[in-house]
Structure 1
């Protein structure tokens, strides 16, 4: 099909390093992590040593100062191996992006080096129990009291919530009634008095990915903890970073879909029905051909979006389209491939079954796909 041209020799060396790490340090233990509902902190530190955390963070703040292609490789390989417990690395990268792009010098020096090394794990607290994709409707509020903010509220579906040391919190700091102008991002240490965490949430899939609720009861933080030092800029900051978050979901979706297709081709070549391999039936071959074609189309679009991202030209609607189309395709591929496995596809020992329970969330998080359609429709 169409060859990819994004990566050079240095990128492929990094990809080989990531693959070895996943094969040696993660995949043999992932089932236990699913039982524990979290990834051990030691894995974060090992990933930090390899440059898998916050590769784009400038060297002055402990990172490698690389571009998003290296992050893309990490996302692709985690998704291809379906080591979903490491999806939290993406949240770490997003939080680091907020701090690197909008933080004060003091905030950058305090947090970025420890995040790049895996010593500090960060969580992004946006979603609330009664507020999903409509971020302007959040209820969590930070009230100015002297030189401190007093925070009250609750957040849910928070990735890295159990392990986190640092919370990038979305809260209302103003009362103008103008929605976006009242929202700020505030850096809250997880061990602050008044911060509490639920037990890990029981989910349909992503069992190893640490996900909890966070509660804030009269939590006090200094005013200097507002990201960038100026309140009321949170909505603007989020909109700037959401395009990358949504593109990363598209990247993971296409890589996951490719993995499922590869597993299914292998399975249908080795499994016989009525005396011949499943892949020799025209129905099977045509279905697989259709999926291969659609995955190639999706990969080509994702790679073009990545080029635009590197040029700082990726638009909100392009990222929304990538997230929507690729996550929809991922579910389609998984469903079709599971069917070709027959009853074995429903058994968790087969990769397609694990993708089946893990892939569904890609159409919801990062903004539900119907919200993506609304964003695209606004450009018509």
Structure 2
């Protein structure tokens, strides 16, 4: 497997400084050595080994945005963008690392007590601790307000009952942020949902089977079951009954990260396909010389450039602290769907070789569809967009 994207010191994106580019070069060199040679084996084994988590942590790539007092360097969001892009260039199954570093950790950094931050965040940075966010439930879909997992306070503990599914990192996670209903009488508009920090060894917590998926094989996805799980009341994250509002506050970054990853997947598919058709022949000439192939490549490149311009603008606004939830929802919906379309076109240009499992384009084609369900299905995201534009 070859990393097709050469390091570009002249990357002109406005939010990237020389320091960002040096970080980009460092993590690319790390991944070239520690991830790319082993990625196919990880896919076969169905997991990214814990040893890799520790290596990437020990090299300073996890949660660089955290404050110095917790082991970070106080870096800006641009470093998170670079990390997500470089991980995606290796393969989509490394998404669990971005979720750990830039989805789960921000909840603790924003809403956790000092004790919680000191207890968990340094281990997040080192890779010693793996984390997951458990929201989705069987039969619930994206309706977070209708969460059925309950947490009832009793004798200094929350007694948790319920089930979660499709939890990225869930099988290996040392710490879970679990969304639970703590006010059983609350109507959806009044929230009633709380976030609990639940350690892996909590009595009453069991993990179901490691879910087999159509793609992203080495990204571990798990079922979680809570049967009178006893969680100390001190493990509540933020205030009781404010969980849904916390989730909505963090949704902007989560959907932006999804758009960034999907865009990089599309960019990788373009480069893979261009390299392939420059060498592959049909009817006596290289495929790249056929008008149809040239038209298709032009269409794909145009889509990617439009997406890149849109997303880069959103990254700058996000870094400036602007509320752009409508725009990032548009980006998440459009770019994940665009990447699916691109995967089909690239598979077609690879002809029969696109169906060969040892070709990266085949894995890309398997991996990309699930992104349309990340952070809410297309239908949920479109509903939010329509509501926010006054329809």
Give the equivalent residue in structure 2 for 1:86. Answer: 94
Cα separation, partners in 2 of 1:299 and 1:314, compared to 1, 3 Å: farther
Give the equivalent residue in structure 1 for 2:387. Answer: 378
Deviation at 1:3, TM superposition (A): 4.7
Residue 264 of structure 2 corresponds to residue 281 of structure 1: no
CA distance in 1, matches of 2:299, 2:158: 55
CA distance in 2, matches of 1:139, 1:55: 35
Deviation at 1:76, TM superposition (A): 0.7
Aligned partner of residue 180 in structure 2, secondary structure = strand
On the 8 A contact 2:204/2:226 being kept in 1, the answer is yes
Give the equivalent residue in structure 2 for 1:272. Answer: 281
CA distances 1:16-36 after superposition (whole Å, capped 9, x unpaired): 111112211112112221222
Q: Mapping of 1:287-366 within 5 angstroms?
A: 287-366=296-375
Deviation at 1:42, TM superposition (A): 1.1
CA distance in 2, matches of 1:261, 1:42: 32
CA distance in 2, matches of 1:342, 1:320: 34
Deviation at 1:12, TM superposition (A): 1.1
Residue 232 of structure 2 corresponds to residue 191 of structure 1: no
CA distance in 2, matches of 1:213, 1:342: 37
Task: Please list every run of at least 4 consecutive aligned residues from structure 1 whose deviation after the TM superposition is greater than 3 angstroms.
Answer: none
More displaced stretch, 116-125 vs 177-186? 177-186
* Structure 2: unaligned runs, 5 residues or longer: 1-10
Aligned partner of residue 221 in structure 1, secondary structure = strand
Residue 126 of structure 2 corresponds to residue 124 of structure 1: no
Give the equivalent residue in structure 2 for 1:224. Answer: 234
Report the count of equivalent residues. Answer: 377
Give the equivalent residue in structure 2 for 1:17. Answer: 26
Q: Mapping of 1:125-164 within 5 angstroms?
A: 125-164=134-173
On the 8 A contact 1:264/1:337 being kept in 2, the answer is yes
CA distance in 1, matches of 2:47, 2:246: 29
CA distance in 2, matches of 1:277, 1:131: 50
Deviation at 1:190, TM superposition (A): 1.0
Q: Mapping of 1:46-61 within 5 angstroms?
A: 46-61=55-70
CA distance in 2, matches of 1:105, 1:206: 35
CA distances 1:177-214 after superposition (whole Å, capped 9, x unpaired): 22252100000001111111112100000100011101
User: Among 13, 20, 30, which residue is 1:4 paired with?
Assistant: 13
On the 8 A contact 1:81/1:259 being kept in 2, the answer is no
TM-score calculated relative to the size of structure 2 = 0.94
More displaced stretch, 54-63 vs 317-326? 54-63
Residue 86 of structure 2 corresponds to residue 77 of structure 1: yes
Give the equivalent residue in structure 1 for 2:113. Answer: 104
TM-score calculated relative to the size of structure 1 = 0.97
User: Among 207, 215, 227, which residue is 1:205 paired with?
Assistant: 215
Give the equivalent residue in structure 1 for 2:4. Answer: none
User: Among 182, 187, 197, which residue is 2:192 paired with?
Assistant: 182
On the 8 A contact 1:186/1:227 being kept in 2, the answer is yes
CA distance in 2, matches of 1:197, 1:291: 41
CA distance in 2, matches of 1:294, 1:120: 38
On the 8 A contact 1:345/1:352 being kept in 2, the answer is yes
CA distances 1:244-294 after superposition (whole Å, capped 9, x unpaired): 111101001111101100111111111111221111111110111011011
On the 8 A contact 2:337/2:372 being kept in 1, the answer is yes
> RMSD value over aligned CA atoms?
1.3
CA distance in 1, matches of 2:139, 2:61: 34
* Structure 1: unaligned runs, 5 residues or longer: none
Deviation at 1:130, TM superposition (A): 1.2
CA distance in 2, matches of 1:355, 1:254: 12
On the 8 A contact 2:88/2:94 being kept in 1, the answer is no
On the 8 A contact 1:246/1:323 being kept in 2, the answer is yes
Deviation at 1:122, TM superposition (A): 0.6
Give the equivalent residue in structure 1 for 2:175. Answer: 166
Deviation at 1:41, TM superposition (A): 0.8
